[in-house]
A = this chain, B = another copy of it.
Amino acid sequence: MRGYKKPTVSIIGASGYSGAELTKILLRHPSVKLERLYAHTQAGKKVQDLYPALDTDIVFAPYRGEQDTDIYFLALPHGEALSIVPQLADAGKLVIDLSGDFRLKNPKEHLKYYRKDKDARAVLPYAMPELCHDAIKQAKAVSNPGCYATGIILGAAPLVKKPLKGAAVKSVSCTAVSGISGAGRTGKTELSFSEMSGNVRAYKAGMHQHTPEILQALGTNTFEPAFGFMFTPMIAPLVRGIYAVLNIQLEKHLPVSQIREHFRDFYRPAPFVRVRETMTEVQHVAYTNFCDIHIAESAGNGSIVIVTAIDNLVKGAAGQAVQNMNIMLGYDETHGLL
């Protein structure tokens, strides 16, 4: 790209795990220049003092409305992006927001799950490249999917959004194991090593904020979905990963091979989705932007099991965000991500 001036990048909310993962990926990215890392709590601290594995001299600064780079990633706690994104968008910046602030179209839904009021216009294109590639390409500002949502939507979409003849989805019941980094860089006693080593804990059964996000992305009404839906998240003693097991009830039985072929067709254009014949594992995708999918079993009554694995910090957050940036910039989707 000789003679080409690299677009410049800022990360707002750079001191959390998603921000650090974004920093790591963007520092290596051949075609953009990471210039600013904003983080209130760590303002004044050298990035390398907080994350010695990151090879940069940048110092965390508090964000005070600067608009001096071309691209902005926001990895802020839910609620904090609502006021910042519009300003950056109005200034013509490319914006990728990793929070949940702009995902849900229905303010009632947003209020129910995020306990915050928001304007009905506070919605951005849902940036899951495997489902919305063109919308992302044309957008100036997008909302990056949640980690659980990414693993679950990619496991259900081929059957829900493009059902096989006579095999409509009747219900989706999923359980997903998350790495503990999903809770963020925090000092809660219940997330201490002594409490979580040897432990497994479910939470927010059927009430996780990614539930409406998943239903919305699958194209059904979030209050009265067209199919039964139940999602139970849990944490286990690992740092990275979302491992989702989907029990899907179809109207009729289909052989695993047919479902697998359907998935392969569906994801043919998607460089980061791998439909595998062997069981997926978290370690197969850890530190990568891949989503591995395995059609595990199909029972006579039309019940099938689909297992998906991603790295929650990469495909579930920072990696997918950079994948979206690549699409928005017209780069190859995989640029700097392999």
Residues of A within 8 A of B (CB): 17, 28, 49, 52-53, 55, 171, 173, 175, 177, 179-181, 183, 185-203, 205-207, 228, 230, 232, 234, 236-241, 243, 245, 247, 249, 274, 276, 278-288, 290, 292, 296-297, 299, 301, 303, 305, 307, 309, 338
Contact = CB atoms under 8 A, between A and B. Distances in A.
A201 B240 contact: no
A232 B249 contact: no
Contacts of A197: 180, 193, 198, 237-239
A281 B198 CA distance: 10
14 contacts: A52-B285, A173-B303, A180-B193, A187-B189, A193-B197, A193-B239, A198-B239, A198-B240, A200-B236, A200-B243, A200-B281, A201-B279, A232-B247, A234-B245
B17 A194 contact: yes
Nearest to A288: B53
A175 B307 CA distance: 11
Contacts of A285: 52-53
A282 B200 contact: yes
A176 B184 CA distance: 25
Most B C-beta atoms less than 10 A away, residue of A53, A190, A191: A53
Contact of A202 (B186, B194, B279): B279
B288 A198 contact: no
Contacts of A279: 201-203, 205
A296 B202 contact: yes
Contacts of A199: 238, 241, 281-283, 286
Contacts of A180: 192-194, 197
B238 A198 contact: yes
Given A180-B193, A185-B194, A301 B243 contact: no
A238 B286 contact: no
A190 B284 CA distance: 13
Contacts of A206: 296-297, 299, 303, 305
Contact of A239 (B17, B194, B245): B194
Contact of A236 (B17, B177, B280, B301): B177
Contacts of A201: 279, 281-282
A283 to B, nearest CB: 4
Nearest to A338: B55
A248 to B, nearest CB: 9
Most B C-beta atoms less than 10 A away, residue of A206, A236, A296: A236
Contacts of A202: 243, 245, 279-280, 296, 307
